[in-house]
Amino acid sequence: MFDLTEHPHRRYNPLTREWVLVSPHRTKRPWQGQVEKLPPETRLQYDPKCYLCPGNERAGGHHNPAYAQTFVFENDFAALLPATTAGEAQPHDLLKAEAVSGICRVICFSPRHDLTVAEMETADLRAVVDTWAEQYQELNATPGIAYVEIFENRGAMMGCSNPHPHCQIWASSLLPNEIEKEQAAQEDYFRAHGRTLLGDYLEHELKSGERLVCANGHFAALVPWWAVWPFETMVISRRHVTGLDDLTADERDGLADILKRLTTRYDNLFEISFPYSGGFHQRPSGPRNEAWHLHMHFYPPLLRSATVRKFLVGYEMLAMPQRDITPEWAAARLRELSERHFRA
């Protein structure tokens, strides 16, 4: 009898149409549960050397205002530039290039240097949600912008340059690869079923509960069936909304609540500020594409402890991604954790 908890198998990701290899037999050994304690992170509420703290100087001589809640600025080292020379090049049938333009911004979540999403108050996270929605709305309506990606790199392990709570926005003139893949899958599903792919997926997950981490009336957090990273999660809106601009006031509160609860569980897993790359996927600019269903992805690198991380190398680079612990097992681990932060 084929058993998902025991037998090597591959699982399908209907959003990207790619497979992930699952090898659960490799983790038959029980959970070691060892938490390698790292020295406590001592952080100042205000760091005079931080380029994100209120009043401080950034590259190029810019000065941050004495902001009291969120603060948005144009990235001083933007990867995309608004006034790029347009053009294409194709020196050979196989070799293509296209000019890309765009706008890059940074959002500080809080004037407090020492906080993280998990440690911020839900009311302050609601202000972050409002800023995300505002930025999305503005940039998505900007001529020349095709897609607005809002993402956070959290922790040095993910290449984050600064512990001050912040995220980035890269708004580009082209659809990025992940968005193109997810759009094609969502459009095909919507055409065939008249419902969104993630709406139907979430309905199943809420019924089954196997991969659910936590939920409120407006959002659910779960480890997807097709997760690649050990503790990868998605946050999905319960109502069919295509973007942050569709959220009601109550739903924005719901998003702030689920983010606080999910990231607190993450931090409590190994009693550290849990590193991840996370961000939104939502409707691109142009005519409203109803096939889209607003969601977030969280990709944390840690595997067994505060210091043991997963690498996507070897077979994963050359063949396909692979995981040992099952998504169901990871969800159960996250579910049993407290929603009270270990530092609180």
Which residues participate in catalysis according to the annotation?
Answer: 166
Give the nearest distance from C-beta 109 to ligand H2U in angstroms. 12
**70-74 contacts, C-beta under 8 A, 24 or more apart:** 70/107, 70/108, 70/109, 70/110, 70/127, 70/128, 70/131, 71/107, 71/108, 71/111, 72/105, 72/106, 72/107, 72/108, 72/131, 72/135, 73/105, 73/106, 74/103, 74/104, 74/105, 74/106
Q: Is 261 in the site for Zn ion (CB under 5 A)?
A: no
> Binding partner of residue 168 among ligand H2U, Zn ion, none, CB under 5 to 8 Å per kind?
ligand H2U
Nearer to ligand H2U among residue 165 and residue 327 (C-beta): 165
Q: Which stretch binds ligand H2U (CB under 6 A): 86-94, 155-163, 185-193, 215-223?
A: 155-163
Q: Is 168 in the site for ligand H2U (CB under 6 A)?
A: yes
Q: Nearest residue to Zn ion, using CB? A: 50
Give the nearest distance from C-beta 165 to Zn ion in angstroms. 9
Binding residue (CB under 5 A) for Zn ion from 11, 24, 104, 113 = 113
- Largest alpha-carbon pair distance within the chain? 66
| CA distances (Å), origin 187, targets 92, 158, 181, 247 | 32, 32, 10, 21
Nearer to ligand H2U among residue 107 and residue 223 (C-beta): 107
Binding residue (CB under 6 A) for ligand H2U from 160, 171, 213, 291 = 160
Binding residue (CB under 6 A) for ligand H2U from 161, 248, 307, 338 = 161
Give the nearest distance from C-beta 236 to ligand H2U in angstroms. 24
The two three-digit tokens of residue 255, written as one number: 């998003």
Contact pattern for ligand H2U over residues 51 through 70, marking x by CB under 6 A = x------xx-----------
> Binding partner of residue 116 among Zn ion, ligand H2U, none, CB under 5 to 8 Å per kind?
none
Give the nearest distance from C-beta 283 to ligand H2U in angstroms. 24
Binding residue (CB under 5 A) for Zn ion from 53, 272, 325, 334 = 53
| Bridging pattern class, strands 322-323 and 212-215 | unpaired
| CA distances (Å), origin 125, targets 165, 196, 297, 332 | 11, 28, 18, 26
Read off the DSSP letter of residue 56.
Answer: -
Residues in contact with ligand H2U, counted by CB under 6 A, come to a total of 12
**What one-character-per-residue DSSP string does 252-266 give?**
HHHHHHHHHHHHHHH
Contact pattern for ligand H2U over residues 91 through 130, marking x by CB under 6 A = ---------------x------------------------
Q: Is 160 in the site for Zn ion (CB under 5 A)?
A: no
125 Cα distance to chain centroid: 15
Q: Is 50 in the site for Zn ion (CB under 5 A)?
A: yes
Residue with structure tokens 């407006």? Answer: 218
Residue 196 · residue 189 · CB < 8 Å:
yes
| Bridging pattern class, strands 147-154 and 166-172 | antiparallel
Residues 104, 182, 214, 2, CA torsion sign: negative
Binding residue (CB under 6 A) for ligand H2U from 77, 81, 84, 141 = 77
d(CA 86, CA 240): 36
- Measured CA angle at 160 (ends 83, 314), to 5 deg: 100
Give the nearest distance from C-beta 54 to Zn ion in angstroms. 8
Q: Which stretch binds ligand H2U (CB under 6 A): 84-92, 134-142, 154-162, 231-239?
A: 154-162
The two three-digit tokens of residue 218, written as one number: 């407006």
Give the binding site for ligand H2U (CB under 6 A): 51, 58-59, 75-77, 106, 153, 160-162, 168
